[in-house]
Amino acid sequence: MIKVEQLHKYFGDLHVLKGVDLEVAPQEVVVMIGASGSGKSTLLRCLNFLEMKNEGRILIDGKEVDPATTPLNKVREHVGMVFQHFNLFPHMTVLENVIEAPVHVKKIPRAEAIERGRELLEKVGLGDKGDVYPEKLSGGQKQRVAIARALAMEPSVMLFDEPTSALDPELVGEVLEVMKSLAADGMTMVVVTHEMGFAREVADRVVFLDNGQIAEQGDPETFFSNPQHPKAQQFLSRVL
Amino acid sequence: MTSFFENLLSTFPAFMEAAWMTLRLTGVSLVLALVIGLIFALMKVTGVRWLGVIYNGYVGIIRGTPLIVQIMWLYFGITHIVVLSAFWAGTIALAIHSGAYIAEIFRGCIQSVDKGQMEAAESLGMKRALAMRRVILPQALKRAIPPLGNQFIIGLKDSSLVAFIGITEIFSLSMDNAAVTFKQLEFYTIAGLYYLAMVAIVTFVLSRVENRMDTAK
């Protein structure tokens, strides 16, 4: 589904990603964890080209994506993204947020997009909120709308960039519930998060990044109970 | 005092005609300035280097020289190439002048929209131009309304400077009357009153528009 080979990324002199190899299989849920500054968000953002790699290869659905020759908007249609700060469009209602890309990018007839949009809002538990503006929603509700908005493009993979980090603690659960049900439906997901409970329960594989490299990866049970890398041990002792 | 009101009344028809000229100059020049300002602001925010250089040159020259110089330059300079009526010379000069300030307003408002909005739009498969039109501009234009209102009022008052290329608008009519009657203070006060009334009307309309935008999102 996604394959990354020897990915390097620099911000000026700062070497953020130092040769990352990663493969994500269809229907797999990969959770990336690591200390802040370890490069996990940057890696995620490279996957839909919001950050441009400096070296290495990125393959989506078996095809290498070269930003110079591939229209990135076409690639991004298949790669949904959920942001830490939701980034809902404040001048559109919840439903308009959800149908915006299907109508204007995929050119789906508006009526059809609305019907599908309402189903998606129903699915994230916000069937009654279609006509309100995002500012009227709680953080948890906003993030669920953002998930519905990304799903509306029927992506083959969903990227989550710390989706619960900006939420009040009592609102984290409702977002994680939606993500769990997505995983249960077989969605391919790459999730950057600090929610270790979610990683343990939902992930097929945990990837631990340290200093721009994958220091350790494995199934969550083994990783959490018996981490091998000293940095992983240190990290887990601090967050668990 | 009686003479003041007599003068105000006797010149009322002429001043109404002059006020209509002021409004036309202002209205036409501001519509053109909005178009100029939006085009230049979009050029600047594309990040294409040479477009940015053109932008900086335009805004730099216009903001760096007095409006009266720009009006004279256009009126006397460009007539070597095309013959412009005084009205169009004045209107175009005012448009180019306000356009630079309006470009700065649009640029600032576009850049003030959170970076995450463009990222979200692009992550949904929108091209940059589509994202600009559907996501960024609607938010930026709403933010632009208060500073644009301010610029409109400045534009209305700045139109008085075209008096010097022989257009009969409020200020030039006051000058003529003052010169003929030697009642300078009275006629410049009358001019001020007309501008005050027009600015009050514009301010009222703008506040209505702002309220409307607030409730309509």
Q: What is the ipTM of this complex?
A: 0.93
The set of residues, in sequence order, having a beta carbon less than 8 Å from that of A36 and lying 6+ positions away, is: none
Interchain CB distance below 8 Å, A83 and B120: yes
Residue A125 has pLDDT above 80, yes or no: yes
pLDDT tens figures, B100-109: 999 999 999 9
Region B147-174 average pLDDT: 94
Q: How many CB atoms lie under 10 A from the CB of residue A47?
A: 23
DSSP SS3 for A22: strand
Task: Please state, for a pLDDT cut of 70, what percent of chain B lies above it.
Answer: 97
The percent helix, strand, coil of chain B (3-state, each to 5) is 90, 0, 10
Nearest to A83 among B116, B125, B135 (CB): B116
For residue B139, give the chain A residue with the closest CA: A91
In this prediction, residue A240 carries a pLDDT of: 77
Q: How far apart, in whole angstroms, are the C-alpha atoms of residue B153 and residue B44?
A: 25
Residue B155 to chain A, least CA–CA distance (Å): 29
Residue B213 has pLDDT above 90, yes or no: no
Interchain CB distance below 8 Å, B123 and A76: yes
User: A94 with A131: CB under 8 angstroms?
Assistant: yes
Per-residue pLDDT band at A161 (split at 50, 70, 90): very high
Residue A233 to chain B, least CA–CA distance (Å): 34
Q: What is the CATH number of the domain that holds B123?
A: 1.10.3720.10
- Each as own residue / partner, the long-range contacts of residues B83-91 (CB below 8 Å, 24 or more positions apart, any chain) are B86/B162, B86/B165, B86/B166, B86/B167, B87/B24, B87/B25, B87/B167, B89/B165, B90/B25, B90/B29, B90/B159, B90/B162, B90/B165, B90/B167, B91/B25, B91/B28, B91/B29, B91/B32
DSSP SS3 for B209: helix
Q: Answer whether B119 touches A (CB < 8 Å).
A: yes
For residue B213, give the chain A residue with the closest CA: A91
Half-sphere exposure of A1 (CA within 13 A, CB side): 20
Go through chain B and tell me how many residues it has: 217
Tell which of B119, B123, B137 to mutate to test the A interface (max A CBs under 10 Å). Answer: B123
Which residues of chain B neighbour A101 with C-beta distances below 8 Å? Answer: 124-126
Q: How far apart, in whole angstroms, are the C-alpha atoms of residue A38 and residue B52?
A: 36
The dihedral of CA B12, B18, B21, B27: what is its sign?
A: negative
Q: Which ranges of A38-77 does DSSP label H, i.e. alpha helix?
A: 40-47, 72-76
Q: Report phi then psi at A52, rounded to 5.
A: -100, 130
Region A100-107 average pLDDT: 97
Per-residue pLDDT band at B148 (split at 50, 70, 90): very high
DSSP-derived pairing of the beta strands A157-161 and A188-192: parallel
- Record the tokens describing residue B193, joined without a space: 């009153």
In this prediction, residue A67 carries a pLDDT of: 87
Q: Which residue has the tokens 């979009």?
A: B42
Region A77-98 average pLDDT: 96
- Record the tokens describing residue A121, joined without a space: 């809002």
Interchain CB distance below 8 Å, A105 and B130: yes
Strand order in the sheet with A14-24: A14-24, A2-11, A55-60, A63-64
The set of residues, in sequence order, having a beta carbon less than 8 Å from that of A125 and lying 6+ positions away, is: A144, A174, A178
DSSP SS3 for A99: helix
Residue A9 to chain B, least CA–CA distance (Å): 19
Per-residue pLDDT band at B152 (split at 50, 70, 90): very high
Instruction: List, as ranges, residues 144-203 from B with C-beta within 8 Å of A.
Output: none
pTM: 0.89
Please name which of A187, A175, A190, A165 lies closest in space to residue A27, comparing C-alpha atoms.
A187
- Using a 10 angstrom Cβ sphere, with 0-12 exposed, 13-18 middle and 19 or more buried, the burial of residue B211 is exposed
Residue A211 falls in which region: left (phi positive, over 0), alpha (psi -120 to 50) or beta: left
DSSP SS3 for A87: coil
The set of residues, in sequence order, having a beta carbon less than 8 Å from that of A134 and lying 6+ positions away, is: A86, A88, A89, A90, A92, A94, A97, A142, A145
User: A162 with A190: CB under 8 angstroms?
Assistant: no
User: B42 with B107: CB under 8 angstroms?
Assistant: no
Q: What is the CATH number of the domain that holds A167?
A: 3.40.50.300
The set of residues, in sequence order, having a beta carbon less than 8 Å from that of B136 and lying 6+ positions away, is: B110, B113, B117, B118, B121
Nearest to A77 among B114, B116, B125 (CB): B125
Residue A210 has pLDDT above 70, yes or no: yes
Per-residue pLDDT band at B215 (split at 50, 70, 90): low
Residue A182 has pLDDT above 60, yes or no: yes
Please name which of A226, A161, A205 lies closest in space to residue A22, comparing C-alpha atoms.
A205
The dihedral of CA A76, A77, A82, A83: what is its sign?
A: positive
Residue A183 has pLDDT above 80, yes or no: yes
How many domains does one find in chain B?
1
For residue B115, give the chain A residue with the closest CA: A87
Q: How far apart, in whole angstroms, are the C-alpha atoms of residue A208 and residue A203?
A: 13
**pLDDT top residue among A121 and B10:** A121
- Record the tokens describing residue A169, joined without a space: 């603690």
Nearest to A73 among B116, B125, B138 (CB): B125
Residue B49 to chain A, least CA–CA distance (Å): 19
Q: Answer whether B77 touches A (CB < 8 Å).
A: no
In this prediction, residue B82 carries a pLDDT of: 79
Interchain CB distance below 8 Å, B122 and A72: yes
Amino acid at B175: M
Nearest to A104 among B114, B130, B138 (CB): B130
Region A103-124 average pLDDT: 97
Mean of the per-residue pLDDT values of chain B: 93
**Residue B196 sits in which domain range?**
1-213
**Residue A11 sits in which domain range?**
2-237
Interchain CB distance below 8 Å, A87 and B130: no
Helix A94-104 with A139-151: angle, nearest 10 deg: 20
How many domains does one find in chain A?
1
The set of residues, in sequence order, having a beta carbon less than 8 Å from that of A114 and lying 6+ positions away, is: A95, A99
